[in-house]
Amino acid sequence: MDKDLLAIQEMRTAVKTAKSAQQKYMSFSQEQVDRVVKAVADAAYARSAELGQMAADETGMGVAEHKKIKNEVGSKAVYESIKDLKTVGIVGEDKVNKVVEIAAPFGVVAAVIPTTNPTSTAFFKTLISLKTRNAIVVSPHPYAVKCTEAALQICEEAAVEAGAPPGLVQCLTMASMDATQQLMKHPDVNVILATGGSALVRAAYSSGKPAYGVGPGNVPVYIERTAKIEKAAENIVNSKSFDYGTICATEQAIVVDHNVKERVMRELKKHGAYVLNAEEKAKMEKAISPVPGKVNPKIVGKSPQTIARLAGISIPEGTRVLIGEETEVGKDIPFSLEKLSPVFAMYTARDSNHAKELCLSLLYLGGRGHSLSLHTKNDDVAREFAIEMPVSRILVNTMSSVGAVGGTTGLLPSMTLGCGTFGGNITSDNVSAKHLLNIKRMAYGIKEVHLPKQAADASKPADETDEIVKEVLKSVNGKANIDPKMVSELVTQIVSQLQK
């Protein structure tokens, strides 16, 4: 049979199996659900290193040790954030207003997984689905099928061993775009979790199904003049080099106040940054974007050394990130794009207002709604940026990549970061288990409403009166000398009394 037809059949079978398992899972108590979720989280966490290595080997992206950390966040940190959430039966009650909240699952979750975070995202989406009594059908990225399938197999086996019905966790293995698109439109799929590029997110939202899609980042990082320069430089280099820049919340462009630029440059170099000269920058531009407006996939998640070789330049040993100074922003300006690699653009700002303009330009180019990073000791500046920037997360004095997913901040641990309506998404939250619950509400009557009496139709009584008068006059049949006008007045009075 044709491979695409086989892939579609595999998808239909997976959805059917998941739906059947989910209908059994719906009867589980909170205690049973929590037992399943803990078992899955523990099993995933225990295999984080192995799966991190497998993901790095299969995709050729990132750093295995860093992927291990992401797997730990996607398993243990996510579990800790959802373990106390009530997701079965009555989950809330307002005794004053007599409103009772009842949790109900969505059903079958269709989850699309990116190549940049294939195992950590698989762990995360499985945990939040199982916590809410949903089943999940995963479509891996074509370049990460084996590691994603292995991650999901760990989850399925742990769930079944903990008492879950077999089949709750399904993985498509044939890497078909047609099968993925049909999965998102399948009548038995109830919600979509789409993590990936803009085209994928648009497909999810146009599927006719409820969908959580997240778009690109292109995160600016502003180093304001009051920042602790050494710590800011260390955080930025560490963040950008983490898993070679594959987290969508990773900083993409540095915006620095001109009066601290020289100090920033020294500190960045101290931590492993290499600043390209004009000739090297021109070569790097061609490596970043051979086709205007499009980032070369060969640089995504690669080391600085690999990218330098691709560009045909030599860099010092130990280089952790590459920096090209830039003044312009646009689709035809390669350094201003979201590069998902350890390559930075650097812009010099005259003051905080100019910095805002630069950050806005970068966000409108491709990161609107996602995140912005800021290093400052001036809380007023931080709050000003937080109010004015069209982003869902503002990370202050931390690594943006790890901070946005909840690793170094109090944000909810998540591998799916909403961009709100700024970025065309349904939510600006870090997506978690609460986003996969229907909440039903039972409400008792606590107020009385007094409805006014309906006004009488003025024409109707007149018609009825005429008919009654005719009947009265007909019944006497000339036997008495009765004035019709008097009869009409009498009948009108009687009808009026009856209507009160």
- Largest alpha-carbon pair distance within the chain? 127
Q: What is the dihedral of CA 384, 385, 391, 397, to 10 degrees?
A: -120
419 catalytic per annotation: no
Q: What is the CB neighbour count within 10 angstroms for residue 446?
A: 9
Termini Cα distance of the chain:
81
Residue 468 structure tokens: 């009654």
d(CA 324, CA 284): 9
Q: What is the 3-state secondary structure (H, E, C) of the chain?
A: CCHHHHHHHHHHHHHHHHHHHHHHHCCCCHHHHHHHHHHHHHHHHHCHHHHHHHHHHHHCCCCHHHHHHHHHHHHHHHHHHHCCCCCCEEEEEECCCCEEEEEEECCEEEEECCCCCHHHHHHHHHHHHHHCCCEEEEECCHHHHHHHHHHHHHHHHHHHHCCCCCCCEEECCCCCHHHHHHHHHCCCCCEEEEECCHHHHHHHHCCCCCEEEECCCCEEEEECCCCCHHHHHHHHHHHHHHHHHCCCCCEEEEEEEHHHHHHHHHHHHHCCEEECCHHHHHHHHHHHCCCCCCCCHHHCCCCHHHHHHHHCCCCCCCCCEEEEECCCCCCCCHHHCCCCCCEEEEEEECCHHHHHHHHHHHHHHHCCEEEEEEECCCHHHHHHHHHHCCEEEEEECCCHHHHHCCCCCCCCCCCCECCCHHHCCCCCCECCHHHHEEEEEEECCCCCCCCCCCCCCCHHHHHHHHHHHHHHHHHHCCCCCCCHHHHHHHHHHHHHHHHC
Residue of 147, 248, 359, 419 with catalytic role: 248
Q: Tokens representing 359?
A: 């950050």
CA separation for the pair 478, 63 (Å, rounded): 112
Task: Kindly report the backbone phi and psi dihedral angles of residue 59, in degrees, each rounded to the nearest multiple of 5, phi listed first.
Answer: -85, -20
Cα–Cα nearest to 218, from 381, 350, 369: 369
- CA–CA separation, 345 vs 359, rounded Å? 12
User: What are the residue numbers of the active site?
Assistant: 248
